[in-house]
């Protein structure tokens, strides 16, 4: 695959290079593990400071600064500290961690071992979703190779420091991506998320010990921060949005795929890199950061005030493609999973598709989430089947409002945000379904296919 | 429990990897399901005994995770992604094709016992949608023609088995 000139590849630098393999020889030929070796000449707290200085933000969903997360770890408890890599990659629209794991697993191991040393972790885990069986095998083999060369396990790089690394496979439950659900799962239990407070992983995580959970891409970035220095890393992108990000683009564009970029606009990604919409089509809306994030509508203007008082007024394409840019447009960059909806896509049917997902994936602990997601699935499904009832749109809004903010974990927002934002931006389309689609002569084949919910 | 020697080896290797034994529940269940095809109450009791926990702790795990199953399925496990990116790219037709080729119903075992076709949620390969998993193998950029090819391959492999 040719790399687009607008890409800025650091994490995926070698992944698609012809001849590059997941074997340790390939990695070592490309300077692999040199940064880990160098890390042992530094004090752990200096590495932590460097990561903090880089302003690296988490790539898994919430965008929390990694250095700050590390500084919250309870180091006085006397308990072991654990490092967990979140490789659950199950937010619909996201397929970046898959590339790293399958094509360059040693980069992740190096990033993890640097992070583990920096935080004095006793043991490290990679939680990988069940549906990536080859990925789990590749990681297992890579860990064995790394142990053989002293880059993982006992006395890493000849130092006093030892850290084992264990791959743990999930079993097809989305909620295992939520960090406290993940921890429960790793303890051998149902993946029911824990309530915060008191269960902040940094204090009461795995086995009630301080635990760091970071995404695959975040941990790879740590390696690059230590290699190029925090200042160089921070020069890519703007302050508070430093480094590259891997965007996963799917849906109605000519060249869907994964693209690692520095500071560009949403339009540059979708039009220049991905080739814009398919011939004869136009873009209707974009879900910017995984299916849980609020939708952005093509014709809207995105206006507001910057922190410095200046004003912005963007079209969809002008939105800066980073955490703060997408937040300023009213959504979130989330996991970097961007779904492009073109003019052939029915928004209520797309919502019906996602509500079937969320109601299937709710862990069931909180009544508003369990019952609400099921209701939303039922209402959106009957809309698609031409059986909408008067008042359904308002009912959906009310159900979503009763979920958001009233649950144990952020899954509640993930259910509510699509409903709230799709209705806010495309209310006419929903009202039309509510009113006119009960006509028995309407051909519903394509919207039923899009809802793709035979249940 | 009549487990293959390689399953026992996997199980014995998994337990010491964790600071606490209960963490090995999932790897043990994976190993047993791969060997026997599903997870019986006997299996749950066996795992509980092995890890020094109660059978209910194992059963609650089996019933929580969609991948763990308490019943037999077809020889090949086909999972067609149904989530938005795949649905926009035609997942529904692909699934229908798989079902009709094997005369199967969604989630059921085909009459020849060869396959079980299910929907899966986003398989983290949306850039090459629509996709499906056949056991451990991911197939990408599918359409009806490719789905037919995959069915033919499965049928041929069944004959040669
Ligand atoms: C419902 C839900 C699903 C999530 N799924 C994932 C996931 O698949 N991968 C991931 O890295 N983070 C996921 N997260 C975010 C994690 O909870 C956690 O914030 C993240 O792994 C922290 O890593 P980071 O700071 O490096 O981004 C999810 C969060 C929620 C609420
Ligand atoms: S919000 Fe939903 S997924 Fe999260 S803990 Fe509650 S029921 Fe479970
Ligand atoms: S929606 Fe099918 S792989 Fe993501």
CATH of the domain at A196: 3.40.50.11540
Does B124 sit within 8 Å of A95, measured CB to CB? Answer: yes
How far does the CA of residue A278 sit from the closest CA of chain B (Å)? Answer: 12
Is ligand 1 within 6 A of the CB of residue A86?
Answer: yes
Q: What pLDDT is attached to residue A116?
A: 98
How far apart, in Å, are the Cα atoms of B123 and each of A98, A129, A387, B148? Answer: 10, 9, 31, 21
Give percent above pLDDT 90 in chain A.
Answer: 94
Spatial separation of the C-alpha atoms in residues A246 and A3, rounded to whole Å: 13
How far does the CA of residue A391 sit from the closest CA of chain B (Å)? Answer: 26
| Residue A275 in tokens | 């080739």
A112 and A32 co-located in one domain: yes
- Helix count and strand count (H, E) for chain B: 7, 4
A112 and A216 co-located in one domain: yes
How far apart, in Å, are the Cα atoms of A360 and each of A144, A404, B101? Answer: 36, 18, 27
Among A131, A446, A455, which would you mutate to test the B interface (most chain B Cβ atoms within 10 Å of its Cβ)? A131
Q: Which CATH number belongs to the domain containing residue A249 in this structure? A: 3.10.20.600
Spatial separation of the C-alpha atoms in residues A67 and A212, rounded to whole Å: 11
- B-chain residue closest to A80, CA distance: B19
A1 is a domain residue: no
How far does the CA of residue A172 sit from the closest CA of chain B (Å)? Answer: 5
Q: Which atom of ligand 3 is nearest to the CA of B82?
A: 2
A107 and A180 co-located in one domain: yes
Question: Where does B5-64 sit in CATH, by number?
Answer: 1.10.10
A169 and A195 co-located in one domain: yes
pLDDT single digits (tens) A261-275: 999 999 999 999 999
pLDDT single digits (tens) B73-100: 999 999 999 999 999 999 999 999 999 9
Question: In a 3-state reduction of DSSP, which class is residue A289?
Answer: coil
List chain B domain ranges: 5-64, 76-160
Does A250 sit within 8 Å of B127, measured CB to CB? Answer: yes
A287 and A260 co-located in one domain: yes
Q: What pLDDT is attached to residue A426?
A: 97
A6 is a domain residue: no
A18 is a domain residue: no
Nearest to B126 among A93, A191, A450 (CB): A93
Spatial separation of the C-alpha atoms in residues A374 and A83, rounded to whole Å: 35
pLDDT single digits (tens) A98-153: 999 999 999 999 999 999 999 999 999 999 999 999 999 999 999 999 999 999 99
How far does the CA of residue A415 sit from the closest CA of chain B (Å)? Answer: 14
Spatial separation of the C-alpha atoms in residues A407 and A410, rounded to whole Å: 7
Q: Which CATH number belongs to the domain containing residue A403 in this structure? A: 1.20.1440.230
Low-confidence ranges of chain B (pLDDT < 70): none
- A-chain residue closest to B51, CA distance: A188
Around Cβ A378, how many Cβ atoms within 10 Å? 14
A450 pLDDT band, cuts 50/70/90, is: very high
- B-chain residue closest to A95, CA distance: B124
The domain boundary, picked from A319, A342, A365, lies at A342
- Highest average pLDDT, of A63-72, A383-392, A428-437, comes from A63-72
Q: What pLDDT is attached to residue A455?
A: 53
Place of tokens 């409002």: A401
Contacts of B120 in chain A (CB under 8 A): 131, 172
Does B119 sit within 8 Å of A454, measured CB to CB? Answer: yes
What is the average per-residue pLDDT within A183-191? 98
Query: Which residue is closest in CA terms to ligand 2's atom 6?
Result: A366
Q: Flag whether pLDDT at A196 surpasses 60.
A: yes
- Ligand 3, CB within 6 Å, residue ranges: A 92; B 81, 83-86, 122-126, 129, 131
A420 and A361 co-located in one domain: yes
What is the average per-residue pLDDT within A431-442? 76
A336 and A352 co-located in one domain: no
Give percent above pLDDT 70 in chain A.
Answer: 99
Nearest to A248 among B30, B91, B126 (CB): B126
Nearest to A90 among B82, B87, B122 (CB): B122
Q: What pLDDT is attached to residue A441?
A: 76
A59 and A88 co-located in one domain: yes
Contacts of A285 in chain B (CB under 8 A): none
Does B136 sit within 8 Å of A453, measured CB to CB? Answer: no
Contacts of A361 in chain B (CB under 8 A): 121
Supply the mean pLDDT for chain A. Answer: 96
What is the average per-residue pLDDT within A182-188? 98
Among B87, B104, B132, which would you mutate to test the A interface (most chain A Cβ atoms within 10 Å of its Cβ)? B87
- B-chain residue closest to A186, CA distance: B23
Q: Which CATH class is domain B76-160?
A: alpha beta
Spatial separation of the C-alpha atoms in residues A114 and A127, rounded to whole Å: 18
Contacts of B27 in chain A (CB under 8 A): 168-169
A249 is a domain residue: yes
The beta strands (E) that lie in B64-156 are given as 76-81, 115-120, 132-134, 137-139
Q: Flag whether pLDDT at A209 surpasses 90.
A: yes
Q: Flag whether pLDDT at A436 surpasses 80.
A: no
- Ligand 2, CB within 6 Å, residue ranges: A 175, 193, 362-366, 369-370, 407-409, 411-412
Q: In terms of DSSP H, where are the helices of A229-273?
A: 230-235, 266-267
Q: Flag whether pLDDT at A1 surpasses 70.
A: no
For the CA atoms of A221, A222, A226, A229, the dihedral, rounded to the nearest 10 degrees, stands at 60
Task: Tell me the residue range of the domain where A364 lies.
Answer: 347-451
Q: What pLDDT is attached to residue A257?
A: 98
Q: Flag whether pLDDT at A454 surpasses 80.
A: no
Of A111, A52, A97, A429, the residue nearest A260 (C-alpha) = A97
Q: Flag whether pLDDT at A156 surpasses 60.
A: yes
Q: Flag whether pLDDT at A390 surpasses 80.
A: yes
A9 is a domain residue: no
A308 pLDDT band, cuts 50/70/90, is: confident
Q: What pLDDT is attached to residue A323?
A: 97
Q: Flag whether pLDDT at A443 surpasses 90.
A: no
pTM for the full predicted model: 0.98
Question: In a 3-state reduction of DSSP, which class is residue A172?
Answer: coil
């Amino acid at each position: 695959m040719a790399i687009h000139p607008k890409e800025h590849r650091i994490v995926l630098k070698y992944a698609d290079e012809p001849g590059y393999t997941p074997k340790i020889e390939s990695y070592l030929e490309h300077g692999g593990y040199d940064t880990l070796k160098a890390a042992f000449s530094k004090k752990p707290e200096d590495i932590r400071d460097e990561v903090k200085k880089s302003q690296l933000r988490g790539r898994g969903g919430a965008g929390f600064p990694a250095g700050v997360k590390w500084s919250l770890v309870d180091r006085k408890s006397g308990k072991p500290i654990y490092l967990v890599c979140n490789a659950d990659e199950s937010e619909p629209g996201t397929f970046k961690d898959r590339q790293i794991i399958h094509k360059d697993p040693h980069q992740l191991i190096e990033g993890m071992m640097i992070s583990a040393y920096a935080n004095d972790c006793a043991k490290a885990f990679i939680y990988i979703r069940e549906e990536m069986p080859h990925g789990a095998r590749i990681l297992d083999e890579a860990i064995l190779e790394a142990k053989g060369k002293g880059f993982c396990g006992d006395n890493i790089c000849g130092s006093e420091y030892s850290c084992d690394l264990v791959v743990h496979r999930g079993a097809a439950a989305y909620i295992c991506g939520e960090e406290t659900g993940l921890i429960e799962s790793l303890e051998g239990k149902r993946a029911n998320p824990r309530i915060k407070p008191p269960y902040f992983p940094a204090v009461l995580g795995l086995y009630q010990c301080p635990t760091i959970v970071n995404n695959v891409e975040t941990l790879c970035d740590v390696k690059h921060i230590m290699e190029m220095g925090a200042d160089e890393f921070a020069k890519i992108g703007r302050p508070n949005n430093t480094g590259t990000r891997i965007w996963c683009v799917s849906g109605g564009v000519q060249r869907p795929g994964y693209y690692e970029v520095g500071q560009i606009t949403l339009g540059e990604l979708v039009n220049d890199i991905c080739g814009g919409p398919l011939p004869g089509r136009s873009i209707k809306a974009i879900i910017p950061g995984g299916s849980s994030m609020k939708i952005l509508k093509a014709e809207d203007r995105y206006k507001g005030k910057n922190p410095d008082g200046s004003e912005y007024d963007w079209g969809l394409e002008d939105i800066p493609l980073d955490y703060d840019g997408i937040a300023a447009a009213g959504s979130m960059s989330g996991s970097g999973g961007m779904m492009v909806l073109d003019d052939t896509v029915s928004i209520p049917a797309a919502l019906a598709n996602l509500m079937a997902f969320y109601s299937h994936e709710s862990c069931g602990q909180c009544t508003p989430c369990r019952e609400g997601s099921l209701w939303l699935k039922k209402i959106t499904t009957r809309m698609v089947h031409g059986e909408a009832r008067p008042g359904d749109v308002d009912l959906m809004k009310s159900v979503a409002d009763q979920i958001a903010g009233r649950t144990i974990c952020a899954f509640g927002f993930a259910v509510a945000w699509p409903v709230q934002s799709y209705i806010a931006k495309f209310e006419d389309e929903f009202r039309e379904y509510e009113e006119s689609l009960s006509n028995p002569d309407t051909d519903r084949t394509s919207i039923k296919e899009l809802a793709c919910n035979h249940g | 429990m009549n487990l293959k020697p390689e399953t026992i080896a996997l199980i014995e290797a998994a337990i010491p990897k964790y600071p606490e034994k209960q963490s090995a529940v999932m790897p043990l269940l994976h190993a047993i399901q791969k060997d026997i095809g599903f997870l019986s109450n006997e299996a749950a009791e066996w795992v509980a005994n092995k890890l020094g926990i109660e059978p209910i702790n194992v059963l609650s795990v089996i019933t929580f995770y969609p991948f763990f199953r308490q019943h037999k399925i077809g020889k090949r496990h086909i999972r067609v992604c149904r989530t938005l990116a795949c649905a926009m790219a035609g997942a529904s037709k692909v699934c229908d094709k798989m079902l009709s080729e094997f005369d199967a119903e969604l989630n059921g075992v085909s009459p020849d016992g060869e396959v079980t076709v299910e929907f899966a949620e986003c398989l983290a390969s949306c850039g090459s949608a629509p996709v499906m998993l056949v056991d451990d193998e991911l197939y990408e950029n599918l359409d009806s023609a490719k789905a037919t090819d995959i069915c033919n391959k499965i049928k041929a492999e069944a004959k040669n088995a």
